[in-house]
Amino acid sequence: MDKVNARENPIEEVNIDDWKLLCDHFDSVQFKKRSDVNVDNRSQVLYPHTTGAKSLSQRIFELNEKDKMANSEKTNDGVDPSNGEQQNDSAEQQNPTVPPPEVVVYADTHKRRDGSWVHPDTEKNYANMTALSSQSGNNVPGSEIVDKVLKKKPRVSRKEARRSADSARERIASRKARKAGRKGDF
C-alpha cells in the first residue's frame, strides 16, 4: 500500500487524527533511519531464539523463583516429600552438574516446543557452557560462561563507555589543534 492510499484508508478502530499522526511518524526520516538500523541488527542474528516478548532477565528471575519454591517444599528435617530422600542444601548448591541459571535459560530459549534445538550450533554452545560450568565448579558467574562460549566482548557500563568516548573526543580535538598549530607556523 502506498503512502497516499494508506493515509486515505485508515483502520476503522483508529481515530482519524491519530491515524494521520501515525502515517506521519512512519514517513519521518527518523523512523526510517531507526528501521534501517533494526533491519541491519536483525540480519546479524546468528541463531534464532524462542524467547518471545519476555526478557532474559525475567526468565532468569522466574527460574530462580522456581528453584526457591522447589527448595521450600522440603520438610524441616531435610527430606524431600516428592521422593522421601534426604537432601543436603549445601551440597546441592555446590553441585557442579547443575548449570547456572543463565546457561539453563540459554537452553530454554534456543529449543523448540518439541525439545529440538533451533540450530545445531546452539546445542554445541550449550554443551560447551555446561562443560565450562562443570570445570569451574560453578565458581564462574553464568553470564561470564555464556559470554565466553559465545565470544562476546566483556560488558562495559554506560559510565565507562561515556568516559572512553569523552577521552577519544579529547584526543581527536588535541590532534586537530596540533595540526592547526602546524599549519599556522608556515
Q: What are the C-alpha distances in Å from 66 to residues 59, 70, 77, 90, 101?
A: 10, 6, 21, 18, 11
Give the separation between CA 151 and CA 147, rounded to whole angstroms.
6
74, pLDDT greater than 70:
no
pLDDT in tens, 81-134: 556 666 554 444 445 567 888 899 999 889 998 999 999 999 999 999 999 988
pLDDT in tens, 130-157: 999 888 887 888 889 988 998 876 666 6
Is the pTM here over 0.75, yes or no?
Answer: no
pLDDT in tens, 3-16: 788 888 888 899 99
76, pLDDT greater than 70:
no
DSSP string, 78-95: SB-TTT--B--HHHHHT-
- Give the rounded distance of the alpha carbon of 144 from its chain centre: 13
The answer to whether the beta carbons of residues 109 and 46 sit under 8 Å apart is no
Q: Where are the chain's structural domains?
A: 3-43, 56-149
Q: Which residue has the higher pLDDT, 38 or 95?
A: 38
